[in-house]
């Protein structure tokens, strides 16, 4: 992403830090080693797109310890315990933050969650390099996030293609009409609308409602961030969304399973682990 002479946003700083981290990690763990790990040790891929396409309020429950806007969200952060609890409460998939510097995450968190649930797991991070895609599959994840705001068109296509070659269908995130048009042209199949502007971290639920009509019917549409109630999910589902990514509202609760059940309403009883 071109920064130029303008002041760097939080998103710019996160991506810069991620690129520096990747450069170091590539020297420690070459891509060829990751490819061997994928071939020899990675578990079978679970179908992330299918999990989001069920008939109901499909919630991707997110495990997140901290964020740049809020700081530490959850002091007691045990990914395995949280993952198992959210699976039992009715999540159809999990999202695990693995970015270290700004979100206090790690790949170890993702691996812990993978070990205890049957649900598909999304790696939530700032993926900008094919090396990270191999790292994601080697860690056992079933999908990964691509953020249109930090990727050019050729990079989106390259990372989509690589993910699919490994059996992972990425969630491609947009925040504006221009970004949405770009990822539709790149033939993204799971499109997430982030109601939080990653440049200033302001949240508007209306962003999802403004963009849903431009998401093709054959794509899986996901609304992300700023969801507070079951009624929000019902409203967005009626508008055309298939699934909902919810993190902070769950992580702020002493027992995240309880607000998840409230989000799902009566439908929560209909979801069981795959």
Tell me, yes or no, whether 147 lies in a domain: yes
Q: What is the mean pLDDT of residues 122-146?
A: 98
**pLDDT for residue 177:** 96
Tell me, yes or no, whether 79 lies in a domain: yes
Can you say whether the dihedral through the CA atoms of 165, 169, 174, 177 is positive or negative?
positive
Calpha distance 130→67 (Å, rounded): 25
- Asked whether residue 96 carries a pLDDT value surpassing 90, the answer given is yes
CATH code: domain of residue 243: 3.20.20.70
Identify the weakest region by mean pLDDT among 1-10, 19-28, 88-97, 219-228. 1-10
pLDDT in tens, 159-185: 999 999 999 999 999 999 999 999 999
Q: What is the mean pLDDT of the chain?
A: 92
Instruction: Name the more confident of 191 and 70.
Output: 191
Calpha distance 144→262 (Å, rounded): 27
Predicted confidence band at 268 (pLDDT cuts at 50, 70, 90)? Answer: very low
Tell me, yes or no, whether 253 lies in a domain: yes
- Asked whether residue 70 carries a pLDDT value surpassing 70, the answer given is yes
CB atoms within 10 A of CB 272: 10
Q: What is the mean pLDDT of residues 31-35?
A: 96
Tell me, yes or no, whether 171 lies in a domain: yes
At 88, list the tokens: 């039992």
- Asked whether residue 95 carries a pLDDT value surpassing 70, the answer given is yes
Give the whole-number percent of the chain exceeding pLDDT 70: 94
Give the count of domains, the chain: 1
Q: Name residue, tokens 């508007």.
A: 204
Tell me, yes or no, whether 1 lies in a domain: no
Domain that holds residue 147: 10-268
- Residue 196 DSSP code: B
**pLDDT for residue 270:** 40
Tell me, yes or no, whether 42 lies in a domain: yes
Predicted confidence band at 202 (pLDDT cuts at 50, 70, 90)? Answer: confident
Q: What is the mean pLDDT of residues 110-115?
A: 97
- Asked whether residue 6 carries a pLDDT value surpassing 90, the answer given is no
**pLDDT for residue 274:** 34
- Asked whether residue 257 carries a pLDDT value surpassing 50, the answer given is yes
Q: Name residue, tokens 């979801």.
A: 271
pLDDT in tens, 40-56: 999 999 999 999 999 98
CB atoms within 10 A of CB 254: 7
| 3-state SS assignment for residue 95 | strand
Predicted confidence band at 4 (pLDDT cuts at 50, 70, 90)? Answer: very low
- Asked whether residue 2 carries a pLDDT value surpassing 50, the answer given is no
Predicted confidence band at 271 (pLDDT cuts at 50, 70, 90)? Answer: very low
- Total-model pTM: 0.92
Instruction: Name the more confident of 8 and 75.
Output: 75
Q: What is the mean pLDDT of residues 229-253?
A: 95
**pLDDT for residue 273:** 36
Catalytic residues: 62, 64, 124, 173, 194, 224-225
Tell me, yes or no, whether 4 lies in a domain: no
Tell me, yes or no, whether 96 lies in a domain: yes
Q: Give the phi and the psi of residue 56 in degrees, each rounded to 5.
A: 155, -175
Predicted confidence band at 7 (pLDDT cuts at 50, 70, 90)? Answer: low
- Asked whether residue 217 carries a pLDDT value surpassing 80, the answer given is yes
**pLDDT for residue 203:** 84
Q: Name residue, tokens 């990914």.
A: 79
């Amino acid at each position: 992403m071109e920064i130029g002479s303008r002041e760097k946003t939080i998103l710019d700083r996160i991506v810069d830090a991620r690129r520096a981290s990747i450069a170091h990690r590539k020297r420690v763990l070459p891509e060829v080693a990751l490819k061997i790990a994928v071939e020899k040790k990675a578990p079978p891929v679970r179908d992330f797109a299918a999990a989001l396409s069920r008939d109901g309020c499909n919630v991707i429950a997110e495990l997140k310890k901290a964020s740049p806007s809020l700081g530490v969200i959850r002091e007691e952060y045990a990914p395995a315990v949280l993952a198992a609890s959210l699976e039992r409460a009715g999540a159809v998939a999990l999202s695990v933050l693995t970015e270290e510097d700004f979100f206090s995450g790690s790949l170890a968190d993702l691996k812990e969650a993978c070990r205890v649930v049957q649900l598909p797991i999304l790696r939530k991070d700032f993926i900008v390099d094919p090396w990270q895609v191999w790292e994601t599959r080697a860690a056992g994840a079933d999908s990964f996030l691509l953020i249109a705001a930090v990727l050019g068109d050729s990079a989106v296509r390259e990372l989509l293609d690589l993910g699919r070659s490994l059996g992972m269908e990425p969630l491609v995130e947009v925040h504006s009409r221009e970004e949405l048009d770009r990822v539709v042209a790149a033939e993204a199949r799971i499109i997430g609308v982030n109601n939080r502007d990653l440049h200033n971290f302001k949240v508007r639920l209306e962003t999802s409602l403004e963009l849903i009509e431009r998401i093709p019917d054959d794509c899986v549409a996901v609304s992300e961030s700023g969801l507070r109630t079951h009624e929000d999910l019902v409203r967005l589902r009626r508008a055309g969304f298939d699934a909902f990514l919810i993190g902070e509202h769950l992580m702020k609760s002493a027992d995240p399973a309880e607000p998840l059940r409230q989000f799902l309403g009566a439908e929560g009883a209909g979801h069981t682990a795959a």
